Amino acid sequence: MAWVQAITLLRFYFRDNDNTTTYCEAKYAASVDLDSLLSLLPSWTSIIAPLTNAVCVERTMTAQYKETATPAPAIGSNVKSSAVFYFSNAAGEISTARIPSIKPAYIESSGPYAGIALVTGDPTIGAFTDMLIFGDRVVNPCDQHGNDLETYLSGMVEIF
Amino acid sequence: MAFAARPVVSVVFTFRDNDGAQASMDISLPGATTPANAVAFAASILPLITPLTDAIPVGYNVIFGQVENLIPAIPESDVEDKGFFLFNTANGGRSSVTVPGFKNTLLLIDNQDIDLADADVSAFVDAFTLGLSALQPSNSSGSDITGVREAYKQNRRSHLTGRRRKG
């Protein structure tokens, strides 16, 4: 088992006058430097644009990683049962993070929130939530709007 | 018109359960995060996630985006009218690329085949076959694209987004 880098995708999303959007894509081998590819986005846009009547409205670079050999998932695992972690953020709002198929060991087994709330004070949960709040000393995560995560409030189980 | 970086870089982890169902979770990083730092962060948070789940992580993507913040009026166009380019690859395989909303003015007289001698088309093909800024595109298995095999216009369905209905 090992994590390896796979193909990197450069995608250019074009929109037509019906407001429909789809993309043109270039793929690169894992060995190609990501910084160089990111700086290539404007050049690709300039090369594709003269060929189309649609307009480029977004472009992305997706670096893909995959596990070379995955073990069998645990019996009873269910990705529709997620742990939802609630954080306060720098904008004074609530942000969330989810982990699919939370292990039963991290769900309260007694009390009024049995089967609903995540256990409190657990060090494994704490390591995850601290990483989201404090980062890895280089990168500090945020929510999807760019707001810094400040305090872990609670965690609940949600089934979709 | 100007492209601006998305406010966040997205790290998306995909998990699979024992029914074979998959789900993803995403973590956002500040938009100015460099690729190296984002990739390193993804690798360092994954071991903190896996003890909490009994599903298996099967892959993750680190996604950097730039959006056009002033979209001009879009001329009459249809992104499903595509320029279809089929390329040969160094491992003997094929790789296809489509250009949405392909211009009719770049077609040959048969109104189907793409004029590969056109300067703009040629620049596009060369970017795949010769590389762009010395970076060589590949197919899905990582084999270099070496030449164009055929190129024609075709109406192809897309994975559509943004279609609006009224009435």
The tens digit of pLDDT for each residue in A139-148 reads: 999 999 999 9
Residues of B in contact with A52 (CB under 8 A): 77, 83, 99-103
What are the tens digits of pLDDT across the range A30-89?
999 999 999 999 999 999 999 999 999 999 999 999 999 888 899 999 999 999 999 999
Mean pLDDT for B82-111 is: 96
Asked if B35's CB is within 8 angstroms of A20's CB, the reply is: no
Residues of B in contact with A46 (CB under 8 A): none
H helices within chain A, ranges in order? 34-38, 41-48, 123-134
Per-residue pLDDT at A70 = 83
Per-residue pLDDT at B1 = 66
What are the tens digits of pLDDT across the range A13-22?
999 999 999 9
Backbone angles phi, psi at A145, to 5 degrees: -100, 0
Residues 6+ apart with CB under 8 A from A60: A9, A10, A11, A13, B63, B64, B65, B66
Mean pLDDT for B35-48 is: 96
Average model confidence (pLDDT) for chain A? 95
DSSP assignment of B8-23, as one string? EEEEEEEEE-TTS-EE
Strand (E) positions, chain B? 3-5, 8-16, 22-30, 56-68, 81-89, 94-99, 137-138, 145-155
Distance CA A33, CA A52 (A): 29
Q: Smallest Cβ distance to A34: which of B35, B42, B53?
A: B35
Q: How far is B167 from chain A (nearest CA, A)?
A: 16
Q: Smallest Cβ distance to A55: which of B30, B53, B72?
A: B72
Which position has the higher pLDDT, A107 or B160? A107
Distance CA B142, CA B144 (A): 6
Q: Smallest Cβ distance to A7: which of B27, B30, B140?
A: B140
Closest residue in chain B to residue A147, using alpha carbons only = B30
Tell me the pLDDT band of B27, cut-offs 50, 70 and 90: very high
Question: Looking at the predicted structure, is the pLDDT value of residue B145 above 50?
Answer: yes
Question: Looking at the predicted structure, is the pLDDT value of residue A120 above 50?
Answer: yes
Q: Which two tokens stand for residue A40?
A: 């290539």
Question: Looking at the predicted structure, is the pLDDT value of residue B159 above 70?
Answer: no
Distance CA B25, CA A118 (A): 17
- Which A residues, 108 through 137, put their C-beta within 8 Å of a C-beta on chain B? 124-125, 127-128, 131-132, 135-136
| Among A8, A110, A55, A90, CA closest to B70 | A55
Q: Using DSSP, state whether B102 is helix, strand or coil.
A: strand
Question: Looking at the predicted structure, is the pLDDT value of residue B165 above 60?
Answer: no
> How deeply is A141 buried, as exposed, middle or buried, from its count of CB atoms within 10 A (0-12, 13-18, 19+)?
buried
Q: How far is B165 from chain A (nearest CA, A)?
A: 10
Closest residue in chain A to residue B30, using alpha carbons only = A146
Q: Smallest Cβ distance to B3: which of A14, A23, A59?
A: A59
Question: Looking at the predicted structure, is the pLDDT value of residue B137 above 70?
Answer: yes
Q: Using DSSP, state whether A62 is helix, strand or coil.
A: strand
Q: Judge whether B147 and B129 are in contact, CB under 8 Å.
A: yes
Q: Judge whether B100 and A52 are in contact, CB under 8 Å.
A: yes
Per-residue pLDDT at B73 = 87
Mean pLDDT for A122-137 is: 96
Question: Looking at the predicted structure, is the pLDDT value of residue B109 above 60?
Answer: yes
Q: Which two tokens stand for residue B13?
A: 């982890």
Residues of B in contact with A2 (CB under 8 A): none
Mean pLDDT for A137-157 is: 96
A45–B contact, CB cutoff 8 A: yes
Q: Which two tokens stand for residue A136?
A: 């890895």
Per-residue pLDDT at B107 = 97
Length of chain B: 167
Question: Looking at the predicted structure, is the pLDDT value of residue B74 above 50?
Answer: yes
Tell me the pLDDT band of B157, cut-offs 50, 70 and 90: confident
Question: Looking at the predicted structure, is the pLDDT value of residue B167 above 50?
Answer: no
Instruction: Identify the H or E element spanning B42.
Output: helix B35-49
Distance CA A87, CA B69 (A): 30
Per-residue pLDDT at B117 = 97
Helices then strands, counting H and E runs in chain A, come out as: 3, 6
Per-residue pLDDT at A16 = 93
pTM of the model: 0.93
